[in-house]
Amino acid sequence: MGSQDNYYSEENHGHHEYLDLGDFPLISGEVLLNAKLAYKTLGTLSDKKDNAILFPHMWSGTSASMESFVGSGRPLDPEKYFIIFPGQFANGFSSSPSNTGAPQDAGNFPNIMIGDDVIAQHELVTKVFGISELQLVTGWSMGAEQTYEWAVRYPSMVKRAVPFAGTAKTTPHDHIFVRSHENAIKSDPAWADGFYAQSTDVHVGLRRHAEIWSVMGLCPEFYKQEVWREVGFTSIDEFLVGFWEAYFKPMDPNNLIWMAWKWRHGDVSLNSKNNLDEALGSITAKVTAVAFANDMFFPPSDIVEEVSKIPNAEYRLVESLWAHFTMFCMNEKDKKAIDNIFTEVLSI
């Protein structure tokens, strides 16, 4: 219901497993009824259960989004590690506006916090797999938010944490920015408070949303140097349609909105009475926080500032004109830079 017929399908995103969470109490006090968390795994959990990596995904993604970082001979080698790609609520496979029945269907879906995702993922890691320590928790963007939440909420379980292009607490600018994206979708009368018949009915809202992403998702120099030629486009307008609109158009508008709400409310200090210094100071994982140059969502300066408050943290900057989307590894240089970070981190 709600989403384009085949987008959230195994055909597009591969096979998922599901953890049944029952009626799942949310941080807000509401209860997510008959909740389920989708996930995927690669590799084999060792007998000692000491080779697990958790790799939550970004906003707009699914458990399949980060699979491309894993491969034989690469730092995240499934022959060595057991890699879990947990879903998050509202991603279209886990409980989401697009797949939940009344009374929590579509526009009635409850708001979710990053902490809710992490609590659900903790159930998965501990109860399904019996893992007591993760060798690495890593993620990009909203995946970084989940990484920080893991490191603060379950410090003894996180040996290493590598958040890419994300913050432990959403900044005010990032907050109003993400809200403007949500509002771009909502501005389409066809959104109808979330109660559209099909996601494609809201295509104008999704296009508006894509337009704003095209401005802030990359950086001025990307467009000036026409870096879109790297990926086969021959004009900027072709890129705007063929990259940005094409990316968002098949997705479910509500799923994007509910994940975005979660994104902008990300804040590990909720675990310590709004004291961010205390929350970050409580992290025991070895943290390597990675910023992407030119990132307009998570400027390097915001990441540097948080790193300074984490006891055992290092900072890395990856230079790329793909800005926030450096993680897409649209060229070999970016892919190598990220792999090198994983190699470095896992060698210690």
Residues interacting with its own copies, by CB under 8 A?
171-174, 176-177, 179-180, 183, 187, 189, 208, 211-212, 214-216, 218-224, 226, 236, 240, 296, 299, 301-302
Strands 52-54 and 82-86, by their bridges, are: parallel
Instruction: Say how far apart CA 69 and CA 232 lie, in whole Å.
Output: 22
Closest separation between CB of residue 80 and its own copies, Å? 39
Closest separation between CB of residue 326 and its own copies, Å? 17
b/e burial code for range 65-95 (CB count within 10 A of at least 16 → b): bbbebbeeeebbbbebbbbbbbbbbbbbbbb
Closest separation between CB of residue 172 and its own copies, Å? 4
Closest separation between CB of residue 189 and its own copies, Å? 7
Q: Which amino acid is at 301?
A: S
CA-based nearest residue to 93, from 34, 7, 33, 31:
7
Q: Which is nearer to its own copies, 1 or 192 (CB)?
A: 192
Closest separation between CB of residue 166 and its own copies, Å? 14
Instruction: Say how far apart CA 230 and CA 92 lie, in whole Å.
Output: 30
Given 141, 174, 188, 334, the catalytic residue: 141
Given 117, 199, 324, 334, the catalytic residue: 324
Instruction: Say how far apart CA 280 and CA 328 lie, in whole Å.
Output: 28
Contacts of 290 (CB under 8 A, 6+ apart): 162, 163, 164, 165, 303, 315, 316, 317, 318, 338, 341
Q: Is 15 a residue of the active site?
A: no
Tokens of 221: 């120099």
Q: Is 141 a residue of the active site?
A: yes
Residue with tokens 């086969």: 232
Q: Which is nearer to its own copies, 148 or 239 (CB)?
A: 239
Q: Is 295 a residue of the active site?
A: yes
Given 188, 295, 302, 334, the catalytic residue: 295
Active site residues: 141, 295, 324
